[in-house]
Amino acid sequence: MSVNEWLAIGMIVLFFAMMLGGIPVAISLAVSGFTAGLLGFGPMLFNVLPGRLYGVVTNYTMMAIPLFVFMGVMLEKSRVAEDMLETIGRAMGNLNGGMGIAILLVGVLMGASTGIVGATVVTLGMLTLPTLLRRGYHPTVASGTICSSGTLGQIIPPSLVLILLSDITGESVGTLFAGAVMPGLAIACVYMLFILLLGWRRPDWVPAIPREERDRFTRRELLRDIQRSVLPPLLLVFAVLGSIIGGVAAPTEAASMGAVGSLLIALLSRRLDWSMLKATLHGTLTITAMVYFILLCAQPFALAFRGLGGEALVHDMFALLPGGELGALLFLMLLLFVLGFFLEWIEISYIALPMFLPVFTGYGTDMAWLAILVAMNLQMSFLTPPFGWALFFLKGVSPPGVTTAHIYLGSLPFVGLLMISIALVFAFPSIATWLPSAIGW
């Protein structure tokens, strides 16, 4: 190997060493990239860096990120999830595991309307975990259900993961949104089947809501609550996703519709006030700044890696793998799974994927299908101990009786179910590709 290729390897080692030493990921990316690039080529390598940074901040598609984040934070601050959960929980309460299924359904709706894992897990954890424990749910089942429900927003559009993967792979946002619909719903259905199976085999772990509690509300009251608390966010989701997938509006335009729609829902529910608007804007600014800061700091890393011949090094490494395209795909899925134990999805997206994509471009791999597989794998990173962020979020709001062991053990069955879902999409690509093809994307 050449000196530059050794520098590319050293750059990756330096990045991991700095990150494990407690230095923020964005700073680790920038420092390791600048150091290796300057050692290899001097300042000339980074003459194009200002143009790359400008391209990131002026990318029209990426402008959808703060708008979708605003929509999600506004719906979370206006307690829409709380109303949905209460209503769906009463509707499903006569089943063993009914409250667990209600939490998963709310996770689907929250994922399609917010896409923010932290907000969904914290909201569901605060609202439901004490109630589930009081009703006799096993702590591991309750914890795993809440964590897995909160991560559905990583694959169900509109998802920030899919927007970033669109930028990385070169596929349109509409194609990835359409391709993710069926896999996202399939994951939710697999989770629900697992809860129903638990309700059949171990009803003492997931008991139904007591009859006297269900009888407090009439069917007319339930229908009224569905109209008030479930239909508005559901219609907003259909309007936003339908306009993107149907080609009526660009992602940024649809995101602006979603932001305005979330304001209207908060206004009509009489919960919109200055303090809530201020908190929503602050949350939007914080999340958006974090995403963009990492994206900007990833540019010198990516530039140095490419300039030092890292792409050729990766291509040669993949050429040594048996099985051709299939072997390369399996290796990528395994590598992303392992990285998910230690890194966040955004670092994995902008560090690992750009290194490997040229290999799959050479194989002629369907990039939309590959992006969906990657998104599902990244979703798993939120659930895998010891550093799964959904686990940390739930632990931060869990009552004293729920230990870290309960949360970790509760997540493992859902990690296994997610692996099964990934295997299904891997074996049957049409699950992810038929809808984009059907609508002409």
Domain count, the chain: 1
Sorting pLDDT into bands at 50, 70 and 90, what band is 318? low
Tokens of 79: 């307690």
With beta carbons less than 8 A apart as the criterion, state whether 375 and 162 touch. yes
Find the mean pLDDT for residues 340-367.
77
Position 48 scores a pLDDT of 78
Q: Kindly state whether residue 46 falls inside one of the protein's structural domains.
A: no
Is the pLDDT at 372 greater than 90? The verdict is yes
Q: Kindly state whether residue 53 falls inside one of the protein's structural domains.
A: no
Q: With pLDDT > 70 as the criterion, what percentage of the chain qualifies?
A: 91
Tokens of 286: 């914080």
Tell me the per-residue pLDDT of 232-285, one tens digit each, with 9 for 90 and over. Answer: 887 887 787 777 777 777 777 888 888 888 888 888 888 888 888 898 898 888
CA 291 to the chain's CA centroid: 13
Q: Kindly state whether residue 282 falls inside one of the protein's structural domains.
A: no
Residue-level length of the chain: 441
Sorting pLDDT into bands at 50, 70 and 90, what band is 109? confident
Position 144 scores a pLDDT of 92
Whole domain around residue 268: which residue ranges? 59-272+311-438
Q: Kindly state whether residue 84 falls inside one of the protein's structural domains.
A: yes
Tell me the per-residue pLDDT of 280-306, one tens digit each, with 9 for 90 and over. Answer: 898 888 878 877 887 788 788 878 877
Q: With pLDDT > 90 as the criterion, what percentage of the chain qualifies?
A: 11
84-117 per-residue burial string, b: 16 or more CB within 10 A, e: under 16: bbbbbbbbbbebbbbbbbbbbbbbbbbbbbbbbb
Is the pLDDT at 146 greater than 80? The verdict is yes
Q: Kindly state whether residue 161 falls inside one of the protein's structural domains.
A: yes
- Three-state DSSP class for 242? helix
Q: Kindly state whether residue 360 falls inside one of the protein's structural domains.
A: yes
Of the segments 201-205, 313-317, 369-373, which one has the largest average pLDDT value?
369-373
Diameter of the chain measured on Cα atoms: 75
Tell me the per-residue pLDDT of 182-225, one tens digit each, with 9 for 90 and over. Answer: 999 999 999 999 999 998 888 888 887 776 666 666 677 777 77
Q: Kindly state whether residue 253 falls inside one of the protein's structural domains.
A: yes
Tell me the per-residue pLDDT of 47-102, one tens digit each, with 9 for 90 and over. Answer: 878 887 888 788 776 777 788 778 877 877 777 766 777 777 777 767 788 888 88
Position 235 scores a pLDDT of 84
36-53 per-residue burial string, b: 16 or more CB within 10 A, e: under 16: bbeebeeeebbeebeeee
With beta carbons less than 8 A apart as the criterion, state whether 238 and 113 touch. no
